[in-house]
Structure 1
Amino acid sequence: MFTSMASGLGIKLPGWNYPVVCDLSTGQVQFDNFNGRWGAQQELDRFLQAYACERALIEARKKGYSVTEQLLQNGSIKLTIHVSGGAA
């Protein structure tokens, strides 16, 4: 019998049997895809990439920077953070 418990925000990924659980206070992500049998790793990778991009956008905008986002052909996301001004 397989049992596991996690608390936090549950996110259902496409094709996954069980949700990914994010502990918002620590940033820890818990999941079990049973080595791909319960969900494709690429869906988790896509989610983690999107999360990292959104987090970077939020932090850059908090500092007043502008950000451009470009989806690359290989599925990667390129963020460019534009810092205005120069050294005083």
Structure 2
Amino acid sequence: MSHIVHIQTEIRDSIALSAACTRLELSPPVARTVRLFNAEATGLAVDLPGWRYPVVCQLETGQVHYDNFEGRWGDQRHLDRLAQYYAVEKTRIEARRQGYSVTERQLDDGSIRLQVQVSA
């Protein structure tokens, strides 16, 4: 039986975030307080390519704080890919924790299809 699931991502797992950064060839996230344009944010900071300010993931709330000035200070695609790969890695971690196997396939439109196989 097949099911399609759409996930709204909250970033709450440091291991999955680190794995997503590794896949995207980014530096690992670092716990710190970051000065954004007109605010500060504390959490796991990730430096995205070409971004003026890092994105800051607050694991307690799942929120991501950033300032890319509507794309002028950083391409939104980089943040979208980080969230996408975070969701993939978190799904893999949780599926394996429950003893399921996971296969992954990159689709032509850039989305990722995960298949979680439940043992009978």
- Structure 1: tracts of 5 or more residues without a match: none
* Superposition pairs of residues 2-17 of structure 1, within 5 angstroms: 2-17=37-52
- The answer to whether 1:36 aligns with 2:71 is yes
* Range with bigger deviation, 22-31 or 60-69: 22-31
Which of these two proteins has the greater Rg computed from alpha carbons?
A: 1
Please report the TM-score for the alignment, with normalisation by the length of structure 1. 0.90
- Structure 2: tracts of 5 or more residues without a match: 1-36
Task: Provide the C-alpha distance between the structure 2 equivalents of 1:32 and 1:76, rounded to a whole number of angstroms.
Answer: 25
Please report the TM-score for the alignment, with normalisation by the length of structure 2. 0.67
Runs of 4+ in 1 over 4 A off after TM superposition: none
Between Structure 1 and Structure 2, the one with more helix by share is 2
Q: How many residues align?
A: 84
User: How high is the sequence identity, in percent, across the aligned residues?
Assistant: 60
The letter of the residue matching 2:90 is R
* Superposition pairs of residues 1-88 of structure 1, within 5 angstroms: 2-85=37-120
